[in-house]
Chain A
Amino acid sequence: MATLTHQESATAEQLVVTDGARKIFLTIIIAGVVILILGILASVMGWGAAEHGEAAGHAGVAAHGAAHEEGGPIWLKRLIISLWHSNLFFLGVSTVGTVFMAINYVAYSGWSVLLKRIAEALSAWVIPGGVIMLIVFLIGRHDIFHWTHEGIMDKGSPNYDAIIAGKSGFLNLPFYVIRMVSYLVIWGVFSWKLRQLSLQEDLHGGTYWFHKSITASALFLVLYAVTSSMSAWDWVMSVDTHWFSTMFGWYVFASWWVSGIAAIALTAIFLKQAGYLRALSSNHLHDLGKLMFGFSIFWTYVWFCQFMLIWYANLPEEAVYFNQRLGGFEGRYTFMFFFNIAINFVFPFLGLMTRDAKRQMIIMKIVAIAILCGHWSDFYLMLMPGTMKGENGFLIEIGVAAIFLGAFLILFTRRLASASLVPVNHPFLDESIHHTT
């Protein structure tokens, strides 16, 4: 096989995070803080308030009136929801690192070995993200989830809502927190476990760690299949408490999964362009491109299945979801709705269709960034109409996302730098180096 490439074997490579890179991460965080402060100021000073106030008054489709029923300031509510939104996105992408690795272990796949350390490092955010998730829930649950309001499940209360009360067996505080902690613990423990096995393999070699990783991966995949779906109901779908969709677990998973693959591809390209991962070739990029292309279509498939069934049946309790997003609240989400399909389906579909496009770093980079931005706005579209109703905005949300991005990158690169970028003792390393497509 040595005829196929000039690379005979790969040696350990150590990533050095330069001061320049650290400065960029800090700049992203500072820019995020500035945008956030600007956004809060804009909200407090009421720039563009005429439009806002009117929209809130007309929130006709919303089942429960305007967003500020709690009486707290709008900017605070927006801040809490955007914390939830961005953390949900980054936590999901982070977990996908472990899922990607687990699937490749279980499938005995060899091509992905060179990308394994990137996937491992993505999961550095699982623990911090999980902690932030819990804190945001405990502090800001009233702003995010309508079902946590006082008396909503209490028959005598003026807030009583029979439909939500009927869901109290599932949506009650103790059970919700137990579920939330279990998802986070499962994801955190398996991310940690697979990382440890991988590091042990680097030290000792042999196939013992590899087989142990497969066992752990298989167990994790079963648990993740359940927890990813259930976390989507809990964390995203229960925002629209009255509404339900049986496709929702898959829909959220598809969004996370394709973003995770885009993140892996993007990191691989940045590392390659910085002179690391010498054995990585356009063949690996080609396969990552196929996955990005294929799972963008998969996301669209799930999205469309959900949309078409609801559109066709046209039952009021289901159609309200798309009513809010298509023309509801004076049409303020309509642009986002179509933008979402364009950037998450049309663009990757046409952009990555040819073989040459998947093998070009620049095209892969552009599409991966578009997919990441697109799925962040997909989550925006899942959460905002149900929580902010007619009072959504962008400055605070983008500021919070930038802060998360900077913090995420710091932890991500720190873990990338903490071990060799090439898993030198992985039994399939040679296969990955000589991978051709």
Chain B
Amino acid sequence: MTKHFALGIFEDEDVLLHAVENVRAAGVKIHDVFSPYPVHGIDDALGIERSRLPIAAFFFGMTGLAFALWMQIYMLGFDWPMIIGGKPHIALPAFVPVAFELTVFFTCHGMAITFFTITGLYPRFKVPVMDVRATDDKFVMAIELDETSSQFPRLTQLLRENGASEVNQKEMTHN
């Protein structure tokens, strides 16, 4: 499916932040903004809702903790009990470091995989990029157009008025 976008290119993050507010105030829905680095306050300006990633992270962490405790208790307590340092087979203080590490391991891997999956940033052969300069020194605001792109002249004027250095039209083929 092919989608059409108007791309406003900005040189400066402050100009971009003002533009985002003004464009939204003018009743235009912004598809997304691409920047070389995280811009403070852009989430609020774009009206993006809070991510639910921390909730997922909590459950990944709990999974890791449960797995680590089960693994150690099963291995050292039941499957192959050994006496280590004269301690009981199930010696909980000794299990804490491994439980801690696996909690962190599960949390960060789970979060990274979840994040890449839901944002579509996972590795693939053909990467959809709005404008490659967004990875260097430009800030790109993408606004979705309808089939006929009839609003493009009006949007160009709006973006220009709000400090865009250039406005381009782009077709993107999404899977």
Contacts and interface: CB of A to CB of B under 8 A. Distances in A.
Interface of A: 1, 3-4, 304, 307-308, 311-314, 353-355, 436
B85 A314 contact: yes
Given A3-B17, A3-B18, A314-B85, A304 B96 contact: yes
Contacts of B14: 1
Would you call the interface of chain B mostly helix, strand, loop, or mixed? Answer: helix
Contacts of A354: 54
Contact of B41 (A307, A312, A355, A436): A436
A312 B94 contact: yes
Q: With a 10 A CB-CB cut-off, give which of B18, B41, B87 has the most chain A CB atoms.
A: B41
B153 interface: no
Q: With a 10 A CB-CB cut-off, give which of A3, A304, A308 has the most chain B CB atoms.
A: A3
Given A4-B41, A355-B54, A308 B96 contact: yes
A307 B87 CA distance: 15
Given A1-B14, A3-B21, A312-B87, A307 B40 contact: no
A436 B94 CA distance: 41
Nearest to A308: B93
Given A308-B97, A353-B58, A355-B50, 19 more contacts: A1-B17, A3-B17, A3-B21, A4-B17, A4-B41, A304-B96, A307-B93, A308-B93, A308-B94, A311-B93, A312-B85, A312-B87, A312-B93, A312-B94, A314-B85, A314-B86, A354-B54, A436-B40, A436-B44
Contacts of A304: 96
Contacts of A436: 40-41, 44
A81 to B, nearest CB: 30
Across the A-B interface, the 10 shortest Cβ-Cβ residue pairs? A4-B41, A436-B40, A436-B41, A308-B93, A311-B93, A3-B17, A312-B85, A3-B18, A3-B21, A1-B14
28 contacts: A1-B17, A3-B21, A3-B41, A3-B45, A4-B17, A4-B41, A4-B44, A304-B96, A307-B93, A308-B93, A308-B94, A308-B96, A308-B97, A311-B93, A312-B85, A312-B87, A312-B93, A312-B94, A313-B85, A314-B85, A314-B86, A353-B58, A354-B54, A355-B50, A355-B54, A436-B40, A436-B41, A436-B44
A311 B93 CA distance: 8
Nearest to B43: A436
A176 to B, nearest CB: 35
A126 B77 CA distance: 52
A355 B58 CA distance: 13
A3 B17 CA distance: 8
Interface residues of B, number: 18
Contacts of A312: 85, 87, 93-94
Contacts of B97: 308
Contacts of A3: 17-18, 21, 41, 45
A397 to B, nearest CB: 29
Contacts of A353: 58
A355 to B, nearest CB: 7
Contacts of B41: 3-4, 436
B100 to A, nearest CB: 9
Nearest to A1: B14
A239 to B, nearest CB: 25
A308 B85 CA distance: 13
A308 B97 CA distance: 10
A313 B85 CA distance: 8
Interface string B79-108: 000000111000001101100000000000
A313 B93 CA distance: 12
A307 B96 CA distance: 12
A313 to B, nearest CB: 8
Interface string B49-81: 010001000100000000000000000000000
Interface string B11-47: 0001001100100000000000000000011001100
Contacts of B17: 1, 3-4
B95 to A, nearest CB: 10
A354 B96 CA distance: 23
A346 to B, nearest CB: 14
Contacts of B93: 307-308, 311-312
Contacts of B40: 4, 436
B74 to A, nearest CB: 21
Nearest to B85: A312
Nearest to B55: A354
Contacts of B96: 304, 308
Contacts of B18: 3
A4 B40 CA distance: 9
Contacts of A313: 85
B48 to A, nearest CB: 14
Nearest to A4: B41
Contacts of A307: 93
Interface in B98-120: none
A210 to B, nearest CB: 23
